Amino acid sequence: MVYSQAFQNLNAPELKILSYILLQQQWKKISRSKYVLENKDDFQLLYSVFKKPPFKMNPNTISKSISTLLSHGFIKVFKQGGKVKGDNSVYGFSESWQKWRPGDVIFKREPFYPRGFTKR
């Protein structure tokens, strides 16, 4: 992965979030020498985690970093959140980064139309 164009194109905040994702992966042993990802398609990227130490990231930086990881094919959205308070997006790890080339957009977020709890 580290030799890929997609990885080499990432900046520091994007690498921090990708590292966090990879550290959150849970491996399950299925045979003597074979493992599979148990939560490959079920993790959340909470802004509250990245706003606190050790990350101390700005919400705009978090949003742009997640969008870049989507466009480069490292993650994909399984469930778009944000409809009501506490409704978080669910992401999954993807290996589409192997196909990424500069200028490509592998995945992107659906547009968000705020309803319910919004500030005017």
Q: Could you tell me the residue ranges of all domains in the chain?
A: 5-99
How far from the centroid of its chain's Cα atoms is residue 5's Cα?
Answer: 18
Average pLDDT over residues 90-101: 94
- Does residue 118 surpass a pLDDT of 80? no
Mean pLDDT, range 2-27, rounded to an integer: 94
Under 8 Å between Cβ of 43 and 77: no
Task: Please give the model's pTM, rounded to 2 decimal places.
Answer: 0.84
Rg of the chain taking only CA atoms, in angstroms: 15
H or E stretch at 92: strand 90-93
| 59-68: average pLDDT | 96
Say which CATH class 5-99 falls into: mainly alpha
pLDDT of residue 15: 97
pLDDT tier for residue 39 given thresholds of 50, 70 and 90: confident
Mean pLDDT to the nearest integer, 1-20: 96
